[in-house]
Structure 1
Amino acid sequence: MTKQRRPLPDLPVLDAIPTVEAALADIGRAILVAPPGAGKTTVLPIALLDADWLGDQRIVMLEPRRLATRAAARRIATLTGTEVGDLVGYQTRDERHIGRNTRIEVVTEGILTRRLQRDPELPGVGAIVFDEVHERNLPTDVGLALTLDAADSIRPDLRILAMSATPDTDGLVRALGAPIITSEGRTFDIEMHWLPRSTGAANKGGGGRKSRGPRRPGGPDRIEPAVVAAVVQALGEHDGDVLVFLPGIGEIRRTQQQLAQVLGDSALSGTVDIHPLAGALTQQEQDLALQPSPPGRRRVVLSTDIAETSLTVDGVRIVVDAGLAREPRFDPRSGMTRLTTVATSRASAEQRAGRAGRTEPGAAYRLWSKLEHGTRPKHRTPEILQADLAGFALELASWGVGNDPDAPTGALTFIDEPPTAALRQARELLADLHALDPDTGSLTPLGRDMLALPVHPRLARMVALDRSPLACVIATLVDERDVFRGRPDELPVDLSLRVAVISGAAGHDKADRGAVHRIRDRARELARRVGIDFDRQSIDHDRTGALLLLAFPDRLAGRRRPGQFTMRNGSGAFIKEGDPLAEELFVVAADLDGKADRARIRLAAAVDGDEVIRSAGDDIKDQRTLAWNSDRDDLVETVERRLGAIRLGRRDERPAASDATTAALMKRVRETRLAVLGWSGASNRLRQRVEFLHRTVGDPWPDWSIDALVDTVDEWLAPYLPGAVGRRDLDGLDVAMVLRAQLPWPQGSDLEQLVPDHLELPTGRSVKVDYSGELPTAAVRVQDLFGVTVHPTAGGTPIRLELLSPADRPIQVTADLPGFWAGTWSDVKKEMAGRYPKHRWPDDPATAAPKRMKDR
Structure 2
Amino acid sequence: MTFSTQDITKKCASLPASLIADDVNSALQTHHSLVITAPPGAGKSTLLPLTILSSLGDGEKILMLEPRRLAARQIAERMAQILGETVGETVGYRVRFESKVSKRTRIEVLTEGILTRMLVDDATLDGVSIVIFDEFHERSINSDLALALTRQAQEIIRPDLKVVIMSATIDACGICAALKAPLIESEGRMFPVELHYADEDTDPRDIAAVAASTTIEAYKKHEGDILVFLPGQAEIERCFELLSNSQHLNITISTPQHLNTTPPHHITTTTPHHLTIHPLYGNLSPENQRRAIAPSAPGERKIVIATPIAETSITIEGVRVVIDSGLCRQVVFDARTGLSHLQTVRISMDMATQRMGRAGRVAEGVCYRLWTKASEHLMAEQRKPEIEEADLAPMVLDTAAFGESDAEALPWLTMPPRAGVFKAKELLMSLGAIDENGNITPIGKRMAALPCHPRIARMILATTNLTTSTSQGVHLSQVHQQHLTTSTSHHHTTSLACDIAALLEEKDPLSETGGTDLTLRLSALRAARRKGQPGRWQRIAKIAAEYRRMAHTDEENRDPAPMEVGLLVAHAYPERIARSTNNIGGYRLASGANVQLDATDQQSAHSWIAIASLHSAPGATGRVFLAAPLDPEDLNAEFVKEVDNISWDTKQGCVVMQREQRIGKLMLSEKPIHDADKEQVKSIVCEAMKKDGLTMMAWSEKAVEQVQRRVTQVAAWHPELALPDVSTEHLLSTAADWLPFYLEEGGRVKSSVQELRKLNLAEIIWNLLPYEAQQEVDRLAPTHIEVPTGSRIRIDYRTGAEAPVLSVRLQECFGMERTPCVDDGKRPVLMELLSPGFKPVQLTQDLASFWQGTYFEVRKELRRRYPKHYWPENPLEAEAVRGVKRK
Give the C-alpha shift of residue 261 in structure 1: 1.1
Gaps of 5+ in 1: 199-210, 628-635, 664-711, 720-856
2:627 to 594, 605, 609: 605
Give the C-alpha shift of residue 606 in structure 1: 3.1
* Correspondence for 1:497: 520
Give the C-alpha shift of residue 450 in structure 1: 0.5
Does residue 565 of the first structure (1) align with residue 563 of the second (2)?
no
* Correspondence for 1:444: 441
Deviating more after overlay: 252-261 vs 282-291: 282-291
Change (3 A) 1:422 1:239: same
The CA distance in 2 between the partners of 1:159 and 1:424, in whole Å, is 32
Give the counterpart letter for 2:113 in structure 1. Answer: G
Give the C-alpha shift of residue 287 in structure 1: 1.5
The CA distance in 2 between the partners of 1:469 and 1:713, in whole Å, is 60
Does residue 383 of the first structure (1) align with residue 383 of the second (2)?
no
Matches within 5 A, 1:73-152: 73-152=76-155
Does residue 50 of the first structure (1) align with residue 54 of the second (2)?
yes
**TM-score between both structures, scaled by the size of structure 1:** 0.69
Give the counterpart letter for 1:285 in structure 2. Answer: N
The CA distance in 1 between the partners of 2:362 and 2:454, in whole Å, is 44
The CA distance in 2 between the partners of 1:188 and 1:37, in whole Å, is 11
1:550 to 571, 586, 598: 571
Q: Is the Cα contact below 8 Å between 1:113 and 1:142 reproduced in 2?
A: yes
How big is each residue's C-alpha offset from its partner over 1:458-500, in whole Å with a ceiling of 9 and x where there is no partner?
Answer: 11111112160111111122222222243xxx65112222111
* Correspondence for 2:613: 591
Q: Is the Cα contact below 8 Å between 2:595 and 2:624 reproduced in 1?
A: no
* Correspondence for 1:426: 424
Corresponding pairs, count: 630
Change (3 A) 1:432 1:717: closer
Give the C-alpha shift of residue 716 in structure 1: 6.5
The CA distance in 2 between the partners of 1:491 and 1:649, in whole Å, is 35
Give the C-alpha shift of residue 266 in structure 1: 4.6
1:479 to 505, 508, 523: 505
* Correspondence for 2:302: 299
* Correspondence for 2:228: 244
Does residue 12 of the first structure (1) align with residue 16 of the second (2)?
yes
1:576 to 580, 595, 598: 598
The CA distance in 2 between the partners of 1:193 and 1:714, in whole Å, is 79
Q: Is the Cα contact below 8 Å between 1:91 and 1:98 reproduced in 2?
A: yes
The CA distance in 1 between the partners of 2:657 and 2:137, in whole Å, is 62
Does residue 286 of the first structure (1) align with residue 307 of the second (2)?
no
Q: Is the Cα contact below 8 Å between 1:64 and 1:108 reproduced in 2?
A: yes
Matches within 5 A, 1:243-322: 243-263=227-247, 266=250, 270=270, 271-322=274-325
Deviating more after overlay: 299-308 vs 569-578: 569-578
Change (3 A) 1:189 1:530: same
Gaps of 5+ in 2: 253-268, 465-493, 650-655, 682-741, 750-887
Identity of aligned residues (%): 37
The CA distance in 1 between the partners of 2:747 and 2:397, in whole Å, is 58
Change (3 A) 1:414 1:164: same
* Correspondence for 2:840: none
Give the counterpart letter for 2:665 in structure 1. Answer: A
2:28 to 24, 28, 32: 24
How big is each residue's C-alpha offset from its partner over 1:116-170, in whole Å with a ceiling of 9 and x where there is no partner?
Answer: 1111111111111111001111111111111111112221221111111111223
Partner SS for 2:358: helix
Give the C-alpha shift of residue 534 in structure 1: 2.6
Deviating more after overlay: 497-506 vs 17-26: 497-506
The CA distance in 1 between the partners of 2:349 and 2:374, in whole Å, is 12
Deviating more after overlay: 541-550 vs 124-133: 541-550
Give the C-alpha shift of residue 592 in structure 1: 2.2
Change (3 A) 1:538 1:180: same
Give the counterpart letter for 1:321 in structure 2. Answer: D
Q: Is the Cα contact below 8 Å between 1:172 and 1:415 reproduced in 2?
A: yes
**TM-score between both structures, scaled by the size of structure 2:** 0.67
Q: Is the Cα contact below 8 Å between 1:121 and 1:150 reproduced in 2?
A: yes
Partner SS for 1:99: coil
How big is each residue's C-alpha offset from its partner over 1:801-853, in whole Å with a ceiling of 9 and x where there is no partner?
Answer: xxxxxxxxxxxxxxxxxxxxxxxxxxxxxxxxxxxxxxxxxxxxxxxxxxxxx
Change (3 A) 1:587 1:186: same
The CA distance in 1 between the partners of 2:113 and 2:121, in whole Å, is 12
Give the counterpart letter for 2:99 in structure 1. Answer: R
Give the counterpart letter for 1:502 in structure 2. Answer: L
Give the C-alpha shift of residue 560 in structure 1: 1.1
Change (3 A) 1:465 1:364: same
1:349 to 352, 357, 367: 352
* Correspondence for 2:496: 470
2:666 to 632, 635, 646: 646
Give the counterpart letter for 2:497 in structure 1. Answer: A
* Correspondence for 2:258: none
Q: Is the Cα contact below 8 Å between 2:516 and 2:603 reproduced in 1?
A: yes
The CA distance in 2 between the partners of 1:479 and 1:537, in whole Å, is 21
Give the counterpart letter for 1:45 in structure 2. Answer: P
How big is each residue's C-alpha offset from its partner over 1:404-436, in whole Å with a ceiling of 9 and x where there is no partner?
Answer: xxxx521x2222111110111101111111100
Partner SS for 1:84: coil
Give the counterpart letter for 2:245 in structure 1. Answer: Q
How big is each residue's C-alpha offset from its partner over 1:72-91, in whole Å with a ceiling of 9 and x where there is no partner?
Answer: 11111111101111111111
Partner SS for 2:621: strand
Q: Between Structure 1 and Structure 2, whose CA radius of gyration is higher?
A: 1
How big is each residue's C-alpha offset from its partner over 1:513-559, in whole Å with a ceiling of 9 and x where there is no partner?
Answer: 65411001001101111222233348545511010000111111111
Give the counterpart letter for 1:469 in structure 2. Answer: S
Matches within 5 A, 1:812-823: none
Does residue 184 of the first structure (1) align with residue 187 of the second (2)?
yes
Give the counterpart letter for 2:594 in structure 1. Answer: G
Q: Is the Cα contact below 8 Å between 1:624 and 1:640 reproduced in 2?
A: no
The CA distance in 1 between the partners of 2:285 and 2:496, in whole Å, is 23
Give the C-alpha shift of residue 595 in structure 1: 2.7
Change (3 A) 1:264 1:504: farther
Partner SS for 2:12: coil
Give the counterpart letter for 2:106 in structure 1. Answer: R
* Correspondence for 1:455: 452
How big is each residue's C-alpha offset from its partner over 1:232-275, in whole Å with a ceiling of 9 and x where there is no partner?
Answer: 11111110111111110010001000111115665996342211
1:223 to 198, 201, 207: 207
* Correspondence for 2:408: 409
Change (3 A) 1:645 1:358: same
Give the C-alpha shift of residue 369 in structure 1: 1.9
Q: Is the Cα contact below 8 Å between 2:191 and 2:361 reproduced in 1?
A: yes
The CA distance in 2 between the partners of 1:171 and 1:579, in whole Å, is 53
The CA distance in 1 between the partners of 2:664 and 2:236, in whole Å, is 43
The CA distance in 1 between the partners of 2:612 and 2:495, in whole Å, is 18
The CA distance in 2 between the partners of 1:37 and 1:659, in whole Å, is 73
Change (3 A) 1:314 1:583: same
Partner SS for 1:223: helix
Does residue 536 of the first structure (1) align with residue 557 of the second (2)?
yes
The CA distance in 1 between the partners of 2:332 and 2:578, in whole Å, is 23
The CA distance in 1 between the partners of 2:496 and 2:567, in whole Å, is 11
The CA distance in 1 between the partners of 2:430 and 2:545, in whole Å, is 28
Matches within 5 A, 1:152-191: 152-191=155-194
* Correspondence for 1:232: 216
Matches within 5 A, 1:57-68: 57-68=60-71
The CA distance in 1 between the partners of 2:401 and 2:147, in whole Å, is 16
Q: Is the Cα contact below 8 Å between 2:245 and 2:251 reproduced in 1?
A: no
The CA distance in 1 between the partners of 2:743 and 2:632, in whole Å, is 46
* Correspondence for 2:706: none
